[in-house]
Amino acid sequence: MKASGRADRLPPYLFAELERKVREKKAAGVDVISLGIGDPDLPTPTPVVDALSRAAADPATHQYPSNRGRPELREAFARFYGRRFGVTLDPEREILPALGAKECVFNLNLAFLDAEDVALAADPGYPVYTGGPLLAGGEPVLIPLRPDLGFAPDLDAVSAADARRARLMFLNYPNNPTGAVLPDGLFERAIAFAREHDVLVVHDASYTETTFDGYVAPSFLETPGATEVGVEVFSLSKGWNMTGWRTAALVGNAEAVEAYWRLKTNIDSGMFEAVQEAAVAALEAGPPREMPAIYERRRDLVCDALHQIGVGVAPPKGTIYVWAPVPDGHTSTSYCELVLEESGVVISPGSAYGPNGEGFFRISLTVPDERLREAVERLRESLSA
Ligand SMILES: Cc1ncc(COP(=O)(O)O)c(C=O)c1O
């Protein structure tokens, strides 16, 4: 049996060896604590769960949903954008529900890339910004995120040849994996670049609701001209503790939203209507208010411990991750393997997020405080010089 050549284009799966070692440790009876994946540990808010229960009991929600989504859901997204960001959206033309940001980012590649077309993807970055273009037959061109520019991509460094072939540009602030918040003027520069080179800017707003120290993250669509050249992917996964629910939306440029819809009608059959009703309840209530303080507390716990074992790290102002340099003499993977070996704690190698992530590791803050404290204690004991 021969699988398609498409999958062969994907880069090797960097977590494979780490996962094998985790399995070995668990089999040997080690109590492994995973700070690898970013999956909120706290439950979805009760009113959202209640709305789902009520809606699921109504047979009217049991049939194929429309891929446009219920008008009530699109209107709820529009009201949320108005309240939260001061952005006015037309629920008929500028909003479409998505089955999570991952689906949406991936399918935008299918909707906008032909063979040989380029998607500009941040390095380090969320892996779907590179896997998506490859699977769509296009080419991801990595733009390094520069720490000296506040983890902005240096758009001036994009070659003329790549700029000519570029159709998509992925941005993401607050940023996974670096935890950086929006660098000054970046959205304006991206809009100018998009106008000059006829590129669709895709801003992944997965972490706008998890920010700290009083920082409030903006929407890309607040920037003048953004809707002419771009879209935003807004997800309820992280901000509302709803990763399993697959609830997001593509919002912004009406032509892009329409192209994505045409593609989607051939791929999936929309979001379960009961989940749509629950998403309306979530948007109306807003994200659970206690979450940023919980992550901020965990962030401080982790950053203090890292300082104590000699790892210099700037506390991030957003996301649910801490991004830190590996000590001298290690690669990302050798350090993560050492940490697992010595302390039974799983952390992610920075190189899994792109070549520019080499030399870093990522810690996720999505485990209960007691487990995080235990993990941090083990790191301190086993790794102190
Ligand atoms: C930057 C970024 N975008 C998208 C996603 C996926 O979000 P969703 O659960 O909405 O598919 C993640 C998940 O970790 C992420 O970090």
Give residue 125's pLDDT band: very low, low, confident or very high (50, 70, 90).
very high
Identify the pLDDT of residue 5: 85
What local confidence, expressed as pLDDT, does residue 130 receive? Answer: 95
pTM beyond cutoff 0.85: yes
pLDDT in tens, 290-313: 999 999 999 999 999 999 988 889
* Burial label, 86 (beta-carbon count in 10 A; 0-12, 13-18, 19+): exposed
Cα 9 to Cα 287, 309, 336, 350, distances in angstroms: 38, 39, 26, 21
pLDDT band at 98 (very low <50, low <70, confident <90, very high): very high
**Cα Dmax for the chain:** 63
CA distance 366 to 41: 5
Which residue among 99, 106, 175, 176 is best mutated to probe the pocket of ligand 1, counting the most ligand atoms within 8 A of its Cβ?
A: 176
- Give whole-number Cα distances, 53 to 59, 74, 122, 273, in Å: 12, 21, 40, 12
Would you say 335 and 363 are in contact if contact means Cβ atoms under 8 Å apart?
no
Going by alpha carbons, the residue nearest to atom 7 of ligand 1 is 101
Q: How far is 376 from 326, CA to CA, in rounded Å?
A: 16
Q: Is 242 in the pocket of ligand 1 (CB under 6 A)?
A: no
- Cis peptide bond prior to 144, omega within 30° of 0: no
Report, as an integer, the average pLDDT of 235-242.
98
Q: Is 132 in the pocket of ligand 1 (CB under 6 A)?
A: no
Tokens 């919980």 appear where? 294
Residue 104 CA, closest ligand 1 atom number: 11
DSSP 8-state secondary structure symbol assigned to residue 183: P
From 220-234, 262-276, 303-317, the region with the lowest mean pLDDT: 303-317
**Closest ligand 1 atom, CA of 102?**
11
What integer is the mean pLDDT of 3-28?
Answer: 81
Helix, strand, coil in percent for the chain, rounding step 5: 45, 15, 40
> Does ligand 1 come within 6 angstroms of the Cβ of 178?
no
**Percent of the chain clearing pLDDT 90 (strictly above):** 90
Atom number in ligand 1 closest to CA 175: 1
For residue 223 and ligand 1, the question of a CB distance below 6 A is answered with: no
Nearest to 346 by CA among 372, 325, 384: 372
Beta bridge partners, 325, equal 360
C-alpha to C-alpha distance for 363 and 303, rounded to whole angstroms: 10
Give, using CA atoms, the residue closest to atom 14 of ligand 1: 38
The whole-number average pLDDT for the span 95-106 is: 98
Q: What Rg do the C-alpha atoms of the chain give, in angstroms?
A: 21
pLDDT reading at 15 higher than 90: no
**pLDDT on residue 14:** 65
- Per-residue model confidence as pLDDT tens digits over 321-373: 999 999 999 999 999 999 999 999 999 999 999 999 999 999 999 999 999 99
Q: How far is CA 280 from CA 45, 73, 77, 238, in A?
A: 13, 5, 8, 16
Mean pLDDT over the full length of the chain: 95
Structure tokens given for 246: 């697959």
Instruction: Detail the DSSP E strand segments found in the chain.
Output: 33-34, 95-98, 118-123, 139-146, 152-153, 166-171, 200-204, 230-235, 248-252, 321-325, 345-346, 348-349, 360-364
Burial class from Cβ neighbours inside 10 Å (0-12, 13-18, 19+) for residue 5 reads exposed
Residue with tokens 């983890």: 151
- Predicted local distance difference test score (pLDDT) of residue 55: 98
| Cβ pair 35, 363 in contact under 8 A | yes
Alpha carbon nearest to ligand 1 atom 16, residue: 176
**Neighbouring C-beta atoms of residue 225, cutoff 10 Å:** 13
Average pLDDT over residues 174-192: 98
- Residue 280, pLDDT > 80, answer yes
User: Above 60 in pLDDT, residue 142?
Assistant: yes
Q: Residue 385 corresponds to which amino acid? A: A
pLDDT band at 21, cuts 50/70/90?
A: confident
